[in-house]
Structure 1
Amino acid sequence: MKKFFNIGPGTWVTAAFIGPGTVTVCTLAGVQFGFSLLWALVLSIVACVVLQEMAARLGVVTQKGLSEVLKSQFDNKIVRGALIALILSAIFIGNAAYEAGNISGGVLGLSTILESSLGVSENYLSIVIGVIAFILLYIGNYKVLERSLIVLVLLMSVAFIVTAIVTKPDISMIFKGFVPNFSSDNVLTIVGLIGTTVVPYNLFLHASIVSEKWKSTEDLPEAKKDTIVAIVLGGFVSMAIIIAGAAIQEAEVNNAADLAKGLEPVFGSMAKYVLSVGLFAAGITSAITAPLAAAYVVKGCMGWQKGLKSKSFRAVWMFILFLGVLFSSLGIKSIVIIRFAQIANGLLLPVIAIFLLWVMNQQKILGKYTNSWKQNLVGFFILIITCFLGFRGIWKVIESL
């Protein structure tokens, strides 16, 4: 049992995608469509497991990150330089935007727990969240970070799952929610559920950190199990959020913050505290992983040999963390941050999915551990979804200009 529950790097992936954005999207999916989009979340989790398993396998076999492997496959300096520039710009812009949202989500939960007044005090709470993330990252110890994330993810999971159970959902209606259905009204929400689960920087992060734990191809089964267990756990948390959101009746909900208010008649005075703990944990976990992912990407692109405790590595995640705290403290409109995130996600996700599939079929890199035809078939299907997601994200930004 101890060996089975020895969860590792996969927890980082879960901690990254279960952030305030996921809380918001899943909440709105539940409020607007009830349980009917649970099937879309299952699709998202499957896509996440497939792509992250590829990234983990690449990391274990090559003992390198995704950006390092990609860079090594192009001899032409112009092409290689363009690729590195694309990856770095998208990662920096996207992660800084996500980090601002993560910290804002953590502040939202913390301010409710502490019953802080709105306004200036929330600026100080942004700094508090930033300091907590800074301390955990500065320690520079893989095991400490891993254990911290496991505790926070479990805390977050319990908060949202308890919330879903207390709402006393109709079990038969939940099962009906796993039957696929499309309509013009729910397409964008489906895209949103996929986009908030399959996070591009997670592919870089996962490929890089698995080598910290596993050094041999004999460890591939354990790495695969770790990936599946952690991501499926995240999937259950997301489902719990949808179920909790579906409990709101005749309430106007524009974001996750309104969820607590909408459920007060069900939970009483403790509702906002239960949800706030989950939101705080979601913000903190994502606030740790986003800067770390950016640092790993830059490390791979620049060819740095030293890792977590090197000055250059720390400088990158400090910069991303600083931008997140700054943007979340200056009162910048969330729509502006979301636009930047959508652009980065729209450009990066399909490109990285293409490169990942290409690399996973290179025998000179992976030998006998390349993708099987079944893995390629599923991967190609996911690629179509990610391309649609990317184009739709960019189109939404253009429409809003």
Structure 2
Amino acid sequence: MFKKIGPGVLVAAAFVGPGTITMCTLAGARFGYALLWALLISIIATIVLQGMAGRIGLVTQSGLLDVVRKELKTPWVRNIVIAIVLGAILVGNAAYEAGNIGGATLGLEQLFPQPQLRPFLPVFIGGVIFLLLWFSSYKILEKIFVGLVGVMGVSFVVCAIITQPSMLEIIKGLFVPKLPENGLLTVVALVGTTVVPYNLFLHASLVKEKWNSKSDLKAVNWDTTISIGLGGLVSMAILVTASAAPISEINNALDMAIALEPLFGKMAFLFMAIGLLAAGITSAITAPLAAAYVASSCFGWEGGMQNKKFKMVWGIVLLCGVVFLSFDIKPIEVIQFAQVANGVLLPVMALLLLWVVNKKSVMGENRNSMMQNAFGVAIVVFAIFLGAKSVLKVIGLF
């Protein structure tokens, strides 16, 4: 089984980051188990979209943007799409990288609570990530991620079990959808933090690193479904844990751990801190990596992860995260631009993904089935709603 696990683990690690932990904590603290159904829908949508991206990567042996660029024959349309993708991924990931490193720093601070060390922790974590990316091949990174995601998964699931949740309430939350008052924005945020546009590019590129034959399609599907399903289980475990924690105010992903300690002891707190550290590190690795793969596809760089320009891109993204965090810079305008760009990018990429995966000239007999297209269309409609909400929220109309 574990030989078939690969790129999907990196995708799962990418969406279960400090932002997701904070959002799931907020959802559980405010609405109990009521929004578990939103997470379930998000996970299914992610499996469907990532499955398409992985299939395109395997069949074409190209990055997703490479395929889109070749298939868009009208120059001005192609240029607009490339500009949106580059803007959203490069600038967005650089802005969000500070949050990823910050999450890992919060977790590490709890494990080594010496005040004199705190100013140096972001640089230390940034240095560790730099070394992992600089010296690691895809195969090494894959093994590291399997370990980190395993640690993260065990940590959060153990926390959920410690709180002794009601199984009946969990089942109701999963399969009896209801929208609590003032819950719409939280639902949209839960979906937005799970269905991540840059993961589509990351997945297609990583699949061709691991597999090179159409006969491996079952392995790709297995990897996608199992890995993202386990990532979703982690998100649900965080929400379930937060439902039992008496949290009055939520500012970051660690607030739940602080609230759990008086009720369930030091062990719950430690598991949360370890899980947060693992989540921060994995997301802080995948964000620069995805940005580099997108740039590589845009400009046609050869050599994969060992290309100097590829390394320069992820290095700049990583450096931005460390600098923003170390000097307490609040890049609000940059983050707002990233939110708008990602809000536009998700429906654009969902539409392009659906278009490419149905082209016989590209996919041959591996095109979408009617059922896959039905799921795909439903996800595109929701992606348009989600993207519109993101843009309107930033410009102050939502």
Q: What range is the shorter-chain TM-score in? A: over 0.9
Q: Are positions 1:264 and 2:271 aligned together?
A: no
Q: Is 2:218 the partner of 1:221?
A: yes
Letter in 2 for 1:109: G
Instruction: Indicate conservation of the 8 Å contact 1:350/1:387, yes or no.
Output: yes
- 1:23 is matched with 21
Which residue does 1:129 correspond to in 2? 125
SS of equivalent residue, structure 2 residue 6: coil
The 5-angstrom pairing of residues 209-248 of structure 1 reads 209-248=206-245
Q: CA 1:77–1:140 in 2, change beyond 3 Å: closer, same or farther?
A: farther
> Structure 2: how far apart are the matches of 1:337 and 1:5?
40
Aligned residue pairs, count:
397
Alignment of 1:206-355 (within 5 A): 206-249=203-246, 251-333=248-330, 338-355=335-352
Separation (CA, whole Å) in 1 of partners of 2:19 and 2:264: 23
Q: 1:164 is matched with which residue?
A: 160
Query: Which residue is 1:50 aligned to?
Result: 48
Give the letter aligned to residue 220 of structure 2. A
- The answer on whether the counterparts of 1:93 and 1:344 sit within 8 Å (CA) in structure 2 is no
Q: CA deviation at 1:333?
A: 3.5
Give 1:250 shift: 5.9
The answer for the alignment partner of 1:92 in structure 2 is: 90
Displacement, 1:337? 6.3
One-letter amino acid of the counterpart of residue 82, structure 2: I
Deviation of the 1:335 alpha carbon: 5.8
Please give the secondary structure, in 1, of the residue aligned with 2:344. Answer: helix
Q: Which residue of 1 aligns with 2:374?
A: 377
Q: What does residue 151 of structure 2 align with?
A: 155
Counterpart code for 1:236: L
Q: Can you list the C-alpha shifts for 1:197-229, whole angstroms capped at 9, x where unaligned?
A: 110000000001101111111000110000000
Distance in 1 between residues matched to 2:154 and 2:3, nearest whole Å: 17
Query: Does the aligned pair in 2 maintain the 1:28–1:254 contact within 8 Å?
Result: no
AA of the residue aligned to 1:350: P
**Aligned partners of 2:48, 2:333: CA distance in 1, in Å?**
32
- The percent identity for this pair of structures is 51
Query: Which amino acid in the other structure matches residue 316 of structure 2?
Result: F
1:70-149 superposed matches below 5 A: 70-117=68-115, 121-149=117-145
Shift of 1:33: 0.5
Q: Which moved more, 1:206-215 or 1:266-275?
A: 266-275
Runs of 4+ in structure 1 over 6 Å off: none
Against the structure 1 CA distance between its residues 113 and 341, is the aligned structure 2 distance closer, same or farther, given a 3 Å change threshold?
farther
Say whether 1:10 aligns with 2:8: yes
CA distance in 2, matches of 1:371, 1:32: 39
Query: Is this contact kept in 1: 2:91–2:334, CA < 8 A?
Result: no
